[in-house]
């Protein structure tokens, strides 16, 4: 089934998504990879505020290549999500609505998703140039010194993803 959603997301809609659904996201999403997740975790440990609002938002595990002339971003393919697994349950408990990446997730992440009504989406690996066409604006908003791993705010239009693990814990990788 093909579904269009807006980001930030409505959690009632997230709970209706099922593993295997094709979803097109329009709105604002954020990027963060390993180094940014480590910094956010350290900030939370120190009791500091995060550089992004997690509630009802989506994080895309992606580090872009440099933008070509006239484009807001270069190739924007997903990175392996499991590298963020040790940080993800805490972020989900703080209101993160979902993640976009590739590859399997740990049981701890799946349990946190079910506890919080969150969803894990897969973007097509190897299709970064195609995915970048759905990104209309990109701006670094935190941890600029991390280069490609800096946190970015992306504006997307009909960004294509597949629900891999839904809020009930149904896992497309297991089917």
pLDDT confidence of residue 117: 98
- How much is the pLDDT for 139? 94
Cβ–Cβ < 8 Å for 60, 101:
yes
Give me the domains of the chain, ranges plus CATH numbers: 2-174 (3.20.130.10)
Query: Can you list the alpha helix ranges (DSSP code H) found in the chain?
Result: 11-16, 34-45, 88-93, 107-116, 128-132
- pLDDT recorded at residue 72: 87
- The predicted structure's pLDDT at residue 64: 82
What is the dihedral angle through the alpha carbons of 146, 34, 95, 117, rounded to the nearest 10 degrees?
150
What pTM value is reported for the model? 0.94
What pLDDT, on the 0 to 100 scale, is given for residue 90? Answer: 97
Q: Which residues are catalytic?
A: 37
Q: Is 106 helix (H, G, I), strand (E, B) or coil?
A: coil
Backbone phi, psi, residue 165, to 5°: -130, 120
Residue-level pLDDT, tens digit, the chain, 175 residues: 789 999 999 999 999 999 999 999 999 999 999 999 999 999 999 999 999 999 999 999 998 877 778 888 878 889 899 999 999 999 999 999 999 999 999 999 999 999 999 999 999 876 777 788 889 999 999 999 999 899 999 999 999 999 999 999 999 998 7
CA distances from 157 to 5, 28, 139, 141 (A): 10, 9, 16, 20
Query: What is the per-residue pLDDT for 175?
Result: 78
């Amino acid at each position: 089934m093909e579904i269009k959603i807006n980001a930030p997301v409505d959690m009632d809609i997230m709970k209706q998504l099922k593993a295997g659904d094709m979803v097109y996201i329009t709105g604002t999403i954020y990027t963060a990879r390993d180094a940014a997740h480590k910094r956010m975790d350290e900030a939370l440990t120190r009791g500091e505020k995060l550089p992004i609002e997690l509630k009802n938002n989506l994080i895309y595990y992606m580090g872009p290549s440099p933008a070509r002339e006239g484009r807001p971003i270069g190739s924007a393919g997903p990175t392996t999500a499991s590298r963020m697994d040790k940080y993800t349950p805490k972020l989900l408990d703080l209101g993160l609505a979902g993640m976009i990446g590739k590859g399997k997730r740990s049981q701890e992440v799946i349990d946190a998703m079910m506890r919080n009504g969150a969803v894990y989406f897969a973007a097509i690996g190897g299709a970064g140039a195609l995915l970048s066409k759905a990104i209309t604006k990109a701006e670094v908003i935190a941890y600029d010194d991390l280069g490609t791993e800096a946190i970015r705010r992306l504006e997307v239009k009909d960004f294509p993803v597949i629900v891999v693990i839904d809020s009930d814990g149904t896992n497309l990788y297991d089917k």
